[in-house]
Structure 1
Amino acid sequence: MRPLFADPKTDFVFKKLFGTEEHKPLLMALLNGLLELDEAHRVVGVELLSPEQRPPVQELMNSIVDVKCVDARGTRYVVEMQVLNVEGFEKRVVYNVAKAYTSQLQRGQRYPDLDDVIGVTVCDFELWPRKQAPHVPMLSRWSMQEQHGGVRGLGQLQFVFLELPKYDTRRPPRTAVEKWAYFFREADNLEMVPEVLAEQPFRDALEAARTAGFTEEEWDAYIRAGMAIQDERGALSLARREGKAEGRAEGLQEGLQEGLQEGIQKGKEEGLRAMRASLRQLLRQRGLTWGPQEEARLEGCTDLGTLQRWLVQALTAASATEALA
């Protein structure tokens, strides 16, 4: 039985809600809410940028999905939904925003033509753990400042993070930021439109995520996206669990540090095997065949991030060769 609303954290639903012309008002509402813009500075129009604007370094593309747009004032936005905390995540976010900034400049243009870029990232994990001091709130904003006096400047690149696990579940959401956090966390568990999300734009977001309106093809795409996330999560969990177990066993004989490193390596190998198996299964389910060249490429890959990217690409690729590009 289908849930009433689909999970907005999955690739398919996030793109449907925030990456299509039909639902551009939702993207603007999300930006206005997470940037906490007042009436005079609200985003009132956006233009979705083509996929060609994305960074060409594929090994750094570990996010579930990103949407790029530019508003009427020229400010550009890189909006991401990140489900898993993968290695190098913060560097990848900085790279994406910096790339969106530098790629504006074409031959013959000048530096004054560059527009500001703001990266907006929704994380389904704690990027800065609550137990860590100093405390970083659920919604955090980052920009450059002079280190001696704290004067802010060089604001051409800015970063906004919404860490969903930091949402306070002990009380109903009150602010727009809290309501967006509640929407992302709980949408697929709701059995009705709750009163706290009965107003715009949250009601429209729930209506767009209502599974009754999905075609069979859209429902299949949604299920595949959810399976891919679970496979990736399982592979990473297995690698960590096996690594810890092997580390404890080896540590009894050769010392904790050496055993832990070897355990982590073994766990990584197990995770790689699990990821390869998931990718082969998905290709078979989609009826995509692969030959010796693709099999050798798959078996020879030793990077979890690359396998994760291939798994996401396999959801929509027309061939196995395209999936492993």
Structure 2
Amino acid sequence: MQDKFINLFTDFGFKKLFGEEPNKDLLISFLNTLLPEKHRIQDLQFTKNEYQGANALDRKAIFDLSCTSSTGERFIVELQKAKQNYFKDRSLYYATFPIQEQAQRGDWDYKLTAVYTVGILDFVFDEDRREDDHEVVHFIQLKNQSGHVFYDKLTFIYLTLPHFQKTRGELRTLQDKWFYIFRHLHELQEIPPELQEAIFLKLFAVANIAQFSPIERQVYEDSLKYYRDLKNVTDTARDEGWQEGKAEGKAEGMAEKAKEVACHLLRLGIISEAEIASMTGLAIDTIQQLRLQIAADTPDALGE
């Protein structure tokens, strides 16, 4: 059955629902389920988010919005559908930009407004992959050796959505309902009774693919294909365990699986050789050899 509503883990879907001015009430509703009461948002405005350092994989695997509330708090909202090396380092790096932007020339007392990074993840961190850890919301702040908050104006909120397993009948809070929307919107064919609030009725209206123009529909289909291709190769890598096996010294079989994934990514032509090397753990020379082999077998399979 063809999808009726968009997939929120596509570039088009995420930005359609949360990145357009007429729909910012959707973003406000979602963020307010995560924020402490003192920083709940009444209104917001979108700000620039094209920071130096973004590479091709960032732009294709991570979709982000930057906004400022009416009381000055800064928010970076990121949706990431595939794991990357040093993801936490990357989040910390980008969180420094809205901090620096608050600097004022001349006399300035260094007083800052709060900065939040909200990461919506379609995967689970390896270090969180424990049988006893099923947390969806991870709330992180800088603390001292006694566990007391040292600085409360820099906060990272990560949502590991694969851990959210509630059924419609188990939805109790607005936050539950938003998490359910992220995971299941594209699977629904009608609006469930549990999601009949005004904010969700608007969301379903905006997300209805039948209402898109032909151009919007094509853009969405392209972003959906990319999402499925990238998710397929990363899920295959994870399920086969080649990354973990590589670290444990099970080199031969795992290296072959890494090469299979690398070949698939090369044929897709969606990221660079360096980024494929980063994702698979293979050397650049190996990636280049694989590209030559594929080109020799199927000359038209690879782009420039």
Give TM-score scaled by structure 1 length.
0.74
Corresponding position: 1:273 with 2:245: no
> Is the counterpart of residue 9 in structure 1 residue 9 in structure 2?
yes
Backbone CA RMSD of aligned residues: 3.2
Change (3 A) 1:195 1:80: same
Paired residue for 1:180, among 164, 178, 185?
178
Amino acid of the structure 2 residue aligned with 1:15: K
Name the CA distance, whole Å, in 2 between partners of 1:174 and 1:194. 14
Task: State the Cα deviation string for residues 232-273 of structure 1 (Å, max 9, x = none).
Answer: 12333454577749x79xxxxxxx954x23444443333222
Give, in angstroms, the shift of residue 305 of structure 1: 7.8
Alpha-carbon distance in structure 2 between the residues aligned to 1:3 and 1:182: 17
**1:240–1:264: 8 Å Cα contact kept in structure 2?**
no
Partners in 1 of 2:49 and 2:278 — Cα distance? Answer: 19
Do the aligned partners of 2:44 and 2:67 also contact (CA within 8 Å) in 1?
yes
After superposing the two structures, state which structure 1 stretch, 89-98 or 190-199, moved more: 89-98
TM-superposed CA distance for 1:155, in Å, is 1.7
1:270 maps to amino acid: E
The answer on whether the counterparts of 1:28 and 1:44 sit within 8 Å (CA) in structure 2 is yes
CA distance in 1, matches of 2:107, 2:43: 25
| Structure 1 residue runs without a partner (length 5+) | 249-255, 281-296, 308-322
Q: Matched residues in 2 for 1:61 and 1:104: separation? A: 25
Report if aligned partners of 1:242, 1:266 keep a CA contact under 8 Å in 2: no
Supply the distance in 2 between the matched residues of 1:227 and 1:22 (Cα, whole angstroms): 27
Q: Does 1:165 align with 2:155?
A: no
User: Contact 2:5–2:185 (CA<8 Å) still a contact in 1?
Assistant: yes
Counterpart amino acid of 2:275?
Answer: D
Q: How do residues 122-137 of structure 1 correspond to structure 2 at under 5 angstroms?
A: 122-127=120-125, 129=128, 131-132=130-131, 135=133, 137=135
Give the superposition deviation at 1:207. 1.4
Q: Is the 8 A contact 1:239 1:270 kept in 2?
A: no
What is the rounded CA distance, in whole Å, between the counterparts of 1:16 and 1:220 in structure 2? 14
2:45 matched residue in structure 1? 47
Task: Give the Å deviation of 1:187.
Answer: 0.7
Superimposed CA distance per residue, residues 85-138 of structure 1 (whole angstroms, 9 cap, x where no aligned partner) = 2322222222222333234436557462533210111112223646355x4621
Q: Which residues of 2 match residues 1-325 of structure 1 at below 5 A?
A: 2-35=2-35, 37-38=36-37, 41-52=39-50, 54-58=51-55, 61=58, 63-105=61-103, 108=106, 110=108, 112-127=110-125, 129=128, 131-132=130-131, 135=133, 137-148=135-146, 150-170=147-167, 171-239=169-237, 244=242, 257-258=248-249, 260-279=250-269, 301-304=273-276
Deviations 1:153-190 (A, max 9, x none): 21221011222222232543111111001111111111
> Does the 8 Å contact 2:74/2:113 carry over to 1?
yes
CA distance in 2, matches of 1:190, 1:57: 34
Cα gap change, 1:304/1:166 in structure 2, threshold over 3 Å: closer, same or farther? same
Contact 2:82–2:122, Cα closer than 8 Å, also in 1: yes
Deviation, 1:230, is: 1.7
DSSP 3-state at the match of 1:156: strand
Q: Which residue matches 1:319? A: none
| Aligned residues of 1:238 and 1:267 also touching (Cα < 8 A) | no
Report the secondary structure of 1:221's partner residue: helix
CA distance in 1 between partners of 2:130 and 2:278 (Å): 31
Question: In 1, distance between residues paired with 2:166 and 2:154?
Answer: 32
Call closer, same or farther: CA 1:210–1:305 in 2, change over 3 Å. farther
- Figure out how many residues of one structure are paired with residues of the other and give that number: 278
One-letter amino acid of the structure 2 residue matched with residue 277 of structure 1: R
Identity of aligned residues (%): 28
